[in-house]
Amino acid sequence: MDIQSIKQRFGIIGHSPRLDQAIDVARQVAPTDITVLITGESGTGKESFPKIIHHLSARKHGPYIAVNCGAIPEGTIDSELFGHEKGSFTGAHDARKGYFEVVNGGTIFLDEVAELPMLTQVRLLRILETGEFIKVGSSKVLRTDVRVVAATNVDLQQAVSAGRFREDLYYRLNTVPINVPPLRERKEDIIMLFKKFSSDFAEKYRMPPLQLTHDAEQLLIVHRWSGNVRQLKNLAEQMSVIEKDRQVTADTISRYLPRATDNPLPVLFRDIQASEAGFNEREILYKILFDMKRDITDMKKIILQMLDEGQLPGSFQEEHAHLIEKISKDSNLPHIYEENQVNISRQEDDESVVEGYEEAPHEYVEESLSLQEKEKDLIEKALQKHNGRRKKAARELGISERTLYRKIKEYEIS
């Protein structure tokens, strides 16, 4: 079956090369029993790919089940996946088969696989490696022949580094990766998708379909679509129901788009688990601020040195005299600014040389920018403020008591 036929059969819309590549990988891997990991942002349509793999495989006549791992409570997920024996826990009035037993000979799709608890990950790894599992409350080893396709919108490598996901399970699942591109990387498909959704909702609600003006199309194309295809579909449904005027302009669409769009600025601190490795947000902010101050101080030195050596043109000094004066005073070097006022007038007469100027000895006064010293000083001040009460001092500093104890010992604070 070619890619276009697959799109028609499974309702996939778009001509993006990256989308076609993902479908092609699914088509090639389908006849095998290799485990597949599907990655991509939420709302990109990852749930279509396990169906493609199952229906193009030799297991197509066997059972297929999709399990949302994030929607099952941690206390019952082992029972749901692997089954349980009667009386194995409170409420287990009867024995129950799990999904892996029910889907024997078929395909199981584990959506949001990153949400699995660590103990469940161990059980899943055993099934992938040996096909064996044990029901909750039982000691009997059972076997199953199941093809596993997993999906996640989480960066599993980061989850492995943070200790939230087993590394051996990650490599076992990631035998063949398929990445579903976000909608913002499929700009050529956005208008086609909106028109398809609009047509479907027009038929569903028995009303004329929406018509886009040129400026409306441009707005749809440039929008970031953090919710991907799901967000675009919801937008089309809202407008189909609410808007009386079927001619849609950019102003009309903008009323339905969130005001606070995705922030393209870099994130300073993404993983809260990093605090366990000895860092926290406050410490990182301190370091950034100190680095910025150090850079500004270095820039002042360079400007003053160029001014001192007569490398700045007189026109520049005249135009920015107030700034140079401020830099000189802030740097405790007022003599450079005062003496260079003479040089400015002389440069107007003779730009070739600056005479009659003898540099006075000077030194730069700069406060310590050591992060450790600043941190030690803050800890001492917090302890003094709270009369040595470490619990209150830790709360004031925004760190745990354990971190505070370690810092006190590290800096030898009495």
- Per DSSP, the residues of 345-372 read HHHHH-TT---S--PPP---------HH
> For the chain, what are the domain ranges?
3-179, 183-254, 296-349, 370-411
DSSP state for residue 179 in the 8-state scheme = E
Q: Tokens 């803050």 — which residue?
A: 378
> Are 125 and 82 contacting, i.e. CB atoms less than 8 angstroms apart?
no
Which has the closest alpha carbon to 328: 295, 294, 365, 292? Answer: 365
Q: Which tens digit of pLDDT belongs to each residue from 376-399?
A: 888 888 888 888 888 888 888 878
- The pLDDT of residue 411 is 80
Q: Which tens digit of pLDDT belongs to each residue from 289-346?
A: 767 777 777 777 777 777 666 666 666 666 666 666 666 665 554 444 444 444 444 4
- The pLDDT of residue 270 is 43
Top-level class of domain 3-179: alpha beta
* 3-state SS, one letter per residue, for 8-62: HHHCCCCCCHHHHHHHHHHHHHCCCCCCEEEECCCCCCCCHHHHHHHHCCCCCCC
Mean pLDDT value across residues 130-151: 94
Predicted structure pTM score: 0.62
- The pLDDT of residue 116 is 95
Specify the range with the lowest mean pLDDT, choosing from 38-42, 225-229, 243-247, 309-313. 309-313
- Assign domain 370-411 one CATH number from 1.25.40, 1.10.150, 1.10.10, 1.10.287: 1.10.10
Mean pLDDT value across residues 105-112: 96
CATH code reported for the domain at 183-254: 1.10.8.60
> Are 214 and 220 contacting, i.e. CB atoms less than 8 angstroms apart?
no
d(CA 168, CA 158): 14
Mean pLDDT value across residues 236-259: 91
